[in-house]
Amino acid sequence: MSIKRFPWLNDAVSSHQNILFPSSSIIEGESGLAKKHLANYFAQRLLCSDESGPCGICNSCNYFLAGSHPDFCYLSYDSCSSALQTYSKAKKEALTSKKIEGVRALNEFIAMTNSVSKKRVAVIFDAHLMNINAQNALLKTLEDLPENKHVFIVSNKRKYFLPTIYSRSSLISVNNPNSDNLDQWILDQGYIDFSTLNFAPDSTPLEIERLINNDMAGQYIEISENLNSYCLGQITTPDLMKFYRDINITFDEKINSIILFLKTCLGINQDFYKSHPSITTMDNIKLNTRQTSDLIEELVDYKYQLNKVPTLNEQIGLNNFFQKIKNLFT
């Protein structure tokens, strides 16, 4: 399992190069930072016959790379390894199921005797989606893990789990590379026509790559330019409503785009971010930090409510928020 393509993981790898892994580790960081690859790398290293591994050539590594290692399993929101289905009926979405089949299956797997390697490893991807019942079920396993059994908990959200899970786990934080390093990485991938200026501040490498590969890289600029023109009074609310009605993204992504715009404006306003060529409205205005933060929180809450109540009227919601944005920038 090579992680050479993800240089921002080097710090996490080097800091755990010559130490014994604890039984439980939480890998935290934003979406799009290759945390899954890091967890798999650590899992292969623990299972490898070579203690300085992963060597990539031993029987254990061959099993792992073929996806059939009997001492390794994973659980995620939408899938699980065949090893889990062997011990219990771990169905799709079991990670968030109230019946917690997936976590129970993982617990059963961990309790089994090792087959090929000296260790047994489980990885939980999308762990921030675990409900309280699932977290409590996992906690029972973490409390009694022997030294040769390891669980990696991979999460997109920081400080999300029960305090007792944190107290029994080592924390591995994965941070977004700075803009200079990210620009170099974009260039190294062969995307010579793009830079961080094409995307929202704090965009992660794999999120940028996804947008480029899906021909969506220009959307951030286009959206920012339209919102910027609206804040400057150059286009009307109906103009902006039409733009958002015609753009080919989901309503969830539309709300996200407004949140990103406001966060970027707030960051520029407080000198956290460099000025952006598509956002000139900040040249002549000083934002009210409290009001802007409150509006961002309101947008986040609205997005959450929309997922729970899909019958909410999208156009009314957008019109309401555009009016609040206009008041904010007036």
Residue 95: helix, strand or coil by DSSP?
coil
The dihedral sign for the CA sequence 306, 310, 311, 316: positive
Residues 38 and 141 in one domain: yes
pLDDT score recorded for residue 197: 82
State whether 21 and 169 are in the same domain: yes
CA distance linking residue 58 with residue 182, whole number of Å: 35
Same domain, 122 and 229: no
Range of the structural domain that residue 314 is part of = 218-329
Q: Which residues pair with 28 in a beta bridge?
A: 155, 173
Q: Tell me which DSSP letter residue 80 carries.
A: B
Joined together, the tokens standing for residue 238 give 């109906």
In a domain, 248, yes or no: yes
pLDDT by residue for the chain (330 residues), tens only, comes to: 578 999 999 999 988 876 678 889 999 998 899 999 999 999 999 999 987 778 889 999 999 999 889 999 888 877 666 666 554 454 444 544 444 577 888 888 888 888 889 999 999 998 888 888 888 888 988 988 888 999 999 998 777 788 999 999 999 999 999 989 999 999 999 999 898 888 877 889 998 999 899 888 888 888 989 999 999 899 999 999 999 999 888 888 888 889 888 988 888 888 777 777 788 877 777 888 899 999 998 998 887 677 666 666 778 888 999 999 999 887
Q: Which residues, 6 or more positions from 12, have their beta carbon under 8 angstroms from its beta carbon?
A: 27, 38, 172, 173, 174
Same domain, 91 and 229: no
Please tell me the predicted confidence (pLDDT) of residue 93.
44
Rounded-to-integer distance, Cα 92 and Cα 79, Å: 5
Residue 191 lies in a domain: no
Q: Are residues 110 and 240 in the same domain?
A: no
Residues 34 and 124 in one domain: yes
Q: Are 43 and 64 in contact (CB under 8 A)?
A: yes
pLDDT computed for residue 6 by the predictor: 96
Q: Interhelix angle for 314-329 vs 289-308, to 10°?
A: 180
Task: Name the domain boundary from 173, 205, 232.
Answer: 173
Q: Does residue 192 belong to any structural domain of this protein?
A: no
Residue 120: its pLDDT value, please?
Answer: 93
The total domain count for the chain is: 2
Say what the pTM is. Answer: 0.78
Q: Does residue 258 sit in the same domain as residue 169?
A: no
Same domain assignment for residues 63 and 143:
yes
Contact 35, 29 (CB under 8 A): yes
